Homo-oligomer: A and B are copies of this chain.
Amino acid sequence: MSQSLFLLPGDGIGTEIMAEVEKLIAWTNETGLTDFIIDRGLAGGVAYDAHGVAITDGDVTKALAADAVLFGAVGGPKWDDVPYDQRPEAALLRLRKELAVFANLRPAICYPALADSSSLKRELVEGLDILIVRELTGGVYFGEPKTITELGNGQKRAIDTQVYESYEIDRIARVAFDLARTRGSRVHSADKKNVMKSGVLWDEVVKGVAKDYPDVALEHILADNAAMQLVRTPKQFDVMVTDNLFGDILSDVAAMLTGSLGMLPSASLGSPDPVTGKRKAFYEPVHGSAPDIMGKGIANPIAMIASFAMALRYSFNMLELADRVENAIADVLEDGLRTADIAQGDDRVIGTQEMGAAILAKLKA
């Protein structure tokens, strides 16, 4: 039975890296490993240029109908001055919200072949494997009021609102605990309960959920301390669950530690449909649209390809194929192939297409 993928390459290097995934899918389709039907849309600045909006209702509808969405990256200086509601990021935020993909999984793994490119000492990051589970559809990103008001005399007041309800914390905590069971069985929950009421509720609900997982060890950590500890001794962490805003920052720190930033994928998942069991899903690299290198053919396609591997795993239960794609990535790295972002010293540097082709070649082998 065929399955539908909706591709939103977005801006900057998005198109280039998505092209490599498309080649890979073309091959898995040809060989009968998969039967994906592909559709494509516009998101971010390119959508604004074409239609005057960050994403059209039509493309949102297609994303809602697809079995999984693959997303590249959005944004760039070209759109710095577009109206706030149509800025490139608005596409991402709208998709997250409408797809209700509340569970953002951000693995921070250090590829052994790249341990030296971390800014941290090798022994601190070698073998690093952290999974950040970030709440993605609540908190200060979406809470109302969210306004700027004129107060007269040139003064303004800006308000953002951090809101969490118990059920939102409960469901993301369960995702974290479930995933911890498939890994090291340890969860750190990060909040600022010492200054935020949402942190107090966060901690209370997470501790309640933990009772259903007596086999998983839960530790509370303040978000500021979590950021420090990630830098100090990152390997102390297994799974870290946190809210939307802290997750944004902590997952970026974790990603940067690995020395593999251009390599890291993410998955954003909704709740399973009560009837079909299917969950909406959205896959994107952790890195951004890198407008400075767009069109040069030098972007690293690995994070995008690894995001596709996550789709195989989480949306299509094709665990073996997901493993094969991930192993192909590890193999080309072991072979010493490097795009510019991960090259060191006198590594031979290859471009986006060569890297995509090398991974595909490993897959075929």
Residues of A with Cβ closer than 8 Å to B?
Answer: 75, 84, 87, 89, 93, 119-121, 124, 140-141, 143, 146-148, 151, 154-167, 192, 194-198, 200-202, 223-225, 227-228, 231-233, 245-246, 248-249, 252-253, 255-257, 261
**Is there an interface contact between B253 and A89, defined as CB atoms closer than 8 Å?**
no
Task: Please give, as numbers and ranges, the residues of chain B lying within 8 Å of A120 by CB-CB distance.
Answer: 119-121, 231
Q: A89-B195, A165-B151, A201-B156 are in contact. Are A252 and B227 (CB under 8 A)?
A: yes
**Is there an interface contact between A87 and B232, defined as CB atoms closer than 8 Å?**
no
Closest to A229 in B: B256
Task: Please give, as numbers and ranges, the residues of chain B lying within 8 Å of A223 by CB-CB distance.
Answer: 249
**Is there an interface contact between A163 and B158, defined as CB atoms closer than 8 Å?**
yes
**Is there an interface contact between B225 and A194, defined as CB atoms closer than 8 Å?**
no
Closest to A116 in B: B121
Instruction: A89-B194, A147-B197, A151-B165 given; name 14 further pairs at CB < 8 Å.
Output: A87-B194, A119-B121, A119-B124, A148-B197, A154-B166, A157-B166, A158-B200, A159-B163, A159-B197, A227-B227, A228-B256, A232-B256, A245-B245, A253-B253
Task: Please give, as numbers and ranges, the residues of chain B lying within 8 Å of A256 by CB-CB distance.
Answer: 227-228, 231-232
Task: Please give, as numbers and ranges, the residues of chain B lying within 8 Å of A233 by CB-CB distance.
Answer: 119
**Is there an interface contact between A140 and B228, defined as CB atoms closer than 8 Å?**
no
**Is there an interface contact between B195 and A93, defined as CB atoms closer than 8 Å?**
yes
Q: A154-B166, A158-B201 are in contact. Are A249 and B227 (CB under 8 A)?
A: yes
Chain B nearest CB, measured from A212 CB (Å): 15
**Is there an interface contact between A159 and B161, defined as CB atoms closer than 8 Å?**
yes
**Is there an interface contact between A163 and B157, defined as CB atoms closer than 8 Å?**
yes
Q: A121-B120, A197-B146 are in contact. Are A192 and B245 (CB under 8 A)?
A: yes
Copies of this chain assembled into the complex: 2
**Is there an interface contact between B162 and A160, defined as CB atoms closer than 8 Å?**
yes
**Is there an interface contact between A252 and B225, defined as CB atoms closer than 8 Å?**
yes
Chain B nearest CB, measured from A256 CB (Å): 4
Closest to A89 in B: B194
Chain B nearest CB, measured from A111 CB (Å): 17
How distant is the Cα of A353 from the Cα of B255 in the complex, in angstroms?
41
Task: Please give, as numbers and ranges, the residues of chain B lying within 8 Å of A257 by CB-CB distance.
Answer: 231
How distant is the Cα of A69 from the Cα of B15 in the complex, in angstroms?
56
Q: A162-B162, A166-B154, A200-B158 are in contact. Are A231 and B231 (CB under 8 A)?
A: yes
**Is there an interface contact between A227 and B253, defined as CB atoms closer than 8 Å?**
yes
**Is there an interface contact between B261 and A228, defined as CB atoms closer than 8 Å?**
yes
Closest to A164 in B: B158
Task: Please give, as numbers and ranges, the residues of chain B lying within 8 Å of A93 by CB-CB distance.
Answer: 195
Give 19 CB contacts A-B under 8 Å.
Answer: A75-B194, A93-B195, A119-B233, A140-B196, A143-B159, A151-B166, A155-B167, A156-B166, A156-B201, A157-B163, A158-B165, A158-B196, A158-B198, A158-B202, A225-B252, A227-B249, A228-B261, A245-B245, A246-B249
Count chain B CB atoms within 10 A of each CB in A87, A154, A162, A167 and give the residue with the most.
A162
Closest to A205 in B: B156
**Is there an interface contact between A224 and B252, defined as CB atoms closer than 8 Å?**
yes
Closest to A226 in B: B249
How distant is the Cα of A154 from the Cα of B163 in the complex, in angstroms?
17
Closest to A169 in B: B158
Chain B nearest CB, measured from A49 CB (Å): 18
The 4 closest A-B pairs by CB, nearest first: A158-B201, A158-B198, A160-B162, A228-B256
